Homo-oligomer: A and B are copies of this chain.
Amino acid sequence: MKLIDGKATANQIREEIAEEVKEIVASGKRAPHLAAVLVGEDGGSITYVNAKISDCKQIGFRSTLIKKDADITEDELLAVVDELNQQDDLDGFIVQLPLPKHINEEKIINAIRADKDVDGFHPENFGRMALGMPTMIPATPLGITELIRRYGIETSGKHCVVIGRSNIVGLPASILMGQNTDTGNATVTLTHSRTQNLKEICLSADIIIAAIGKPGFVKEDMVKEGAVVIDVGTTRVKDATRKSGFRLRGDVDFDAVSPKCSYITPVPGGVGPMTRAGLLQNLMVAYRQKFL
Contact = CB atoms under 8 A, between A and B. Distances in A.
Interface of A: 114, 122-133, 156-157, 159, 165, 167, 171, 174-175, 178-180, 185-192, 194-196, 201
Nearest to A161: B189
Contacts of A189: 187-189
Given A130-B126, A130-B171, A187 B187 contact: no
Give the top 6 A-B pairs by smallest Cβ distance, nearest first: A127-B127, A123-B127, A126-B127, A124-B124, A189-B189, A187-B195
A73 to B, nearest CB: 24
Contact of A124 (B127, B171, B195): B127
Nearest to A155: B194
Question: What copy number does this chain have within its complex?
Answer: 2
Contact of A125 (B127, B174, B191, B194): B127
Contacts of A180: 165, 192, 194
A159 to B, nearest CB: 8
Nearest to A129: B127
Contacts of A133: 123
Contacts of A192: 178, 180, 185, 187
Contacts of A196: 157, 159, 187
A76 to B, nearest CB: 25
Contact of A127 (B122, B156, B179, B201): B122
A131 to B, nearest CB: 5
A178 B165 contact: yes
Given A157-B196, A194-B156, A175 B171 contact: yes
Nearest to A170: B178
B191 A187 contact: yes
A95 to B, nearest CB: 17
